[in-house]
Structure 1
C-alpha cells in the first residue's frame, strides 16, 4: 500500500471511530417565548438522506447530540441541515470469479466511503440539496475504479420545489439525485457497492391520500475515478413513470404499475450489437396482513430494439413471508423467487435476454455472484429481528432459464458463456448475515457466503467460492 494512502486510511479510521465514541454536548434550545423546548425523539436515518425532515426542531428540543447540526436557523422559514455517513467495508473472496489459471486466487479489499451533505432550505417550499463523497478501494487493483473507487465527486446536487394543489402534494426536483422505486428490485440506490447509483433527472412526484406517482426523464452519469469528473452522459438515457395505489385499508394490499425506458449507445448480445432502446412495463402487488403474512409479486414485459433486432423479454419475481406467533414473533420464514428470460435462439433477429435496469445488486446476498438475468432462482430464508439485533440465513439456488444464453455477473457481463457449458444448474449460494445497531448512529454488519459450484460452474473451470464481508457504518 502506498504511504500516502496508508496515512489517509489511518486518519480516516481515527476520525471515524473518534466520531463514533466521542459525545457531543448539545446546546439547550429555547422557544420564541424564551421557555425551554420539550425534548423530541430523533427519527431513524433514511437510505435516501434527502427524505429526512428536521423542521420539527424549530419548535422542540431534540434529544440527540447531533441535532445542533440537523437544524441551523438562518432566517424566518429558512434553515440548514448538515449530515453525513462514514463506512468501512472489508471483503474477502476466494477464489475470484471462476479462478482460471490466470486469475488471482483470492481478493482482500477494504472499501472506505465518506459522504457529507448539506440541505439548505430557503423556504418551506424551496430547498437545495448537495452531497459530496470520497470512495477508496484499498488492496485490490481491480476494484480501484467505479463503482469501487472514486476520489471525490458530487453524488447529489439538486434543486427542489414543493407545493400542494387541490389536495395533491407536488414535489419537483432537478439535478443529480439518487432514486429508489418500489421494492428497489429494478431501480435502487445500490448501497451495497462503494459508489452508490445516481441519476441526472428532471423529476416530478405527486401524492394523494391513497396514491403516489414519480415521473422522470434524464441521463445516467458516466462514472470516472478522478475529482469532480462524473459528467452527465447524454448517450445513456433513463426515463419513466411509477404509480403506487393502496387498494385495501392499512397495508393489506397495494398495487404498483410502471413504465421504464432505457437508451444505451452500445450493447452486445451474442452476435447482435448496437444501440439499445428498451421499454419495460411492469406491475407489482404487495401487502401485509394482521396475521403476519407478507407477499410481493412482480410481472414485467420488455420490448424495444437492439441495432436492427427486436427485444422480447419477460420477468416474474416475488416473495412470501410469515412471521411466527407468540414467543417466536422475532422470526420470519419465507421464500423469494425469480424467473427472468434468456435468449434461447441465436440468429432469429430477436433478443430475449432480460435486462434488470438498475437492480439492488445485493438482493440475493452481500456477494452479488450472479446478475438477475437469464435465470430461475429460489431462495428459502429465515429472518430474525429483535431490538437492535438482526440476522438472516438462507440459500439461493440458481438455474439458467435458457442454456443457449450465458450466465451473467454484475454489472451484466457474461460470466459463463453458452459455449462453455450447456448445464442448466449454475450454483447454490448459502448465506448467513448478522447486524447490530449499537446506537442510532453506529451499526455493525457481517456476512458469510459459500457458493457451491453447480455443473455449469464446474464445466467452465470453476470451483466453490467463499466470501466474508463486514462493514461498520457511522451516520449522522
Structure 2
C-alpha cells in the first residue's frame, strides 16, 4: 500500500482532534464588476454606470463525535463606486452563519442558531447567492429524514442586514416565519414537496397601502423525470390578513427541460409562471403574491423585475465545451393585473400602475463561464431589456444594458 502524505492545504482543510472529533476550515472570495446603461430605462437620468462588489467568507466546522456539530461563518461584503447602496450590496463584517446541530438518532436532528437556507427551487426561501450579501435566519429547527422522506419544521427570524461591523439586528420580532416542509420521494422519477409557511410582517407596503401583513402560504411542488424530460412544477396559494382586509393570492410555475447527448452535450428548457397581482386597490382584498424570501437575481443578475404581479415566458439554452459553460435565455414579461404595479426583487414597487398597458418588456441574456480548476471560476453575464408599452407609456422607453464580470476563488 502506498502512503500518500497530505500537503499543507489538506492538513489545514481538515484537522483531526482526537479519535472522533475534527475541525475543517474553508471559505471563498468573490469579486464582481457590475455596470448598467439606462438602469431606469431613461438615458436622461444621472447615472452611475459601474461599481465594484467584494465578498469574502470564512467558515469553521467543528464535528464532535457522530452526533454534535458546530458551524460558524464570517462574511465581509464591501462595495465601492456605487451611490444608491441597498442592504443586499454592503455588510462590512458580520456573522453570516453560526449554528449547532444535534443528531438524536439516524432520523431526527435539531438545529439552533443562524443559518442560510434554500427550500425547493428557492422560489420562496433562498440563500440569495446572486447579490453581494446572503440572507440569514436566526432559527430553531427540528428535522426528520430517511431514504425517501424529509420533514422539517422551524421558527425563524430573518436577520436585518446593516452596513457596518457586527451591527446586524438579531431577534427582530416584527417579522417572523414559521414553516413545515415535507419532501417525499415516491419513485426514482417522481417527487413532491408539500409545505405551509406562516409569515408575520409589520408595515408591509403593497401597491399604495402600508399595513401589517399576516400571510399563510400553502404550496405543492411536483418534480422528476418523464419520457426523458425533466420537470419541476409548483403551485402556491396565499391567504391571510393585510391591515383590515383579507389576502387571496397565488402563483403557478412550470419548468420543463431536455438534456441532449451529442458531441457537445446541451440542454434546452422553458420556464413559465403566472404570479397574481392586486385586482382593485380600493377593495378590502389584497391579491398581490408575496414571494417571501426569494433569490435576489430571480431573472438573471440584472434583477429589474421581482416575482409579484407578473407573467413571464422564459426559454433557455445551456451547454459546456471543455471548461467553458455557456447559456442563452430570453424572457418576456407582462403585468398580471393592470391595477397593480411592477415590483423589484426586494418586492418593493418600482413602477406604479400609471397606465393600462400590461407588456413590460423583452429581456435577452447571455452567460459565459470558465472554470480554471476546482478552486477558481470566471463568469461574464450580460443582459439587454427592451422596454414594452407599459414602461414606454411611463416615459421609460430607453433600452437597458447590464454587464457583470465575476471572479470567484474557493478554498
Same-fold call, TM cutoff 0.5: yes
Q: Corresponding residue for 1:382? A: 317
Q: How does 1:47-86 map onto structure 2 within 5 Å?
A: 66-86=9-29
Distance 1:404 1:100, change over 3 A: farther
Q: Which runs of 5+ in 2 are unaligned?
A: none
SS at match of 1:317: strand
Distance 1:468 1:74, change over 3 A: same
Distance 1:172 1:437, change over 3 A: same
Q: Distance in 2 between matches of 1:327 and 1:154?
A: 46
Bigger RCO (CA 8 Å, 6+ sep): 2
Q: Which runs of 5+ in 1 are unaligned?
A: 1-34, 39-60
Aligned residues: 409
Does 1:245 pair with 2:184?
yes
Larger radius of gyration: 1
Q: Quick one: which of 256, 268, 274 aligns to 1:320?
A: 256
Q: Distance in 1 between matches of 2:212 and 2:91?
A: 27
Q: Distance in 2 between matches of 1:134 and 1:354?
A: 32
Q: How does 1:395-434 map onto structure 2 within 5 Å?
A: 395-419=330-354, 421-434=355-368
Deviation at 1:106, TM superposition (A): 4.2
Q: Quick one: which of 360, 375, 383 aligns to 1:449?
A: 383
Deviation at 1:65, TM superposition (A): 6.0
Q: Corresponding residue for 1:284? A: 221
Q: Distance in 2 between matches of 1:331 and 1:100?
A: 38
CA contact (8 A) 2:206 2:348 kept: no
Q: Corresponding residue for 1:161? A: 102
CA contact (8 A) 2:107 2:146 kept: yes
Deviation at 1:82, TM superposition (A): 0.5
Q: Distance in 1 between matches of 2:284 and 2:169?
A: 35
Q: How does 1:294-373 map onto structure 2 within 5 Å?
A: 294-328=230-264, 330-373=265-308
Bigger drift between 295-304 and 66-75 goes to 66-75
Distance 1:262 1:104, change over 3 A: farther
Cα RMSD, aligned residues only = 1.7
Deviation at 1:162, TM superposition (A): 1.3
Q: Distance in 1 between matches of 2:65 and 2:313?
A: 49
Q: Quick one: which of 200, 213, 219 aligns to 1:263?
A: 200
Q: Distance in 2 between matches of 1:396 and 1:139?
A: 30
Q: Corresponding residue for 2:174? A: 235
CA contact (8 A) 1:96 1:106 kept: no
Tell me which protein shows more strand as a share of its residues.
Answer: 2
Q: Distance in 2 between matches of 1:359 and 1:270?
A: 19
Q: Distance in 2 between matches of 1:261 and 1:236?
A: 11
Q: How does 1:148-227 map onto structure 2 within 5 Å?
A: 148-164=89-105, 168-227=106-165
CA contact (8 A) 2:23 2:63 kept: yes
CA contact (8 A) 1:331 1:385 kept: yes
Tell me which protein shows more helix as a share of its residues.
Answer: 1
Q: Corresponding residue for 1:13? A: none
Q: Distance in 2 between matches of 1:437 and 1:356?
A: 32
Name the TM-score, length of structure 2 as normaliser. 0.95
Deviation at 1:122, TM superposition (A): 2.1
Name the TM-score, length of structure 1 as normaliser. 0.83
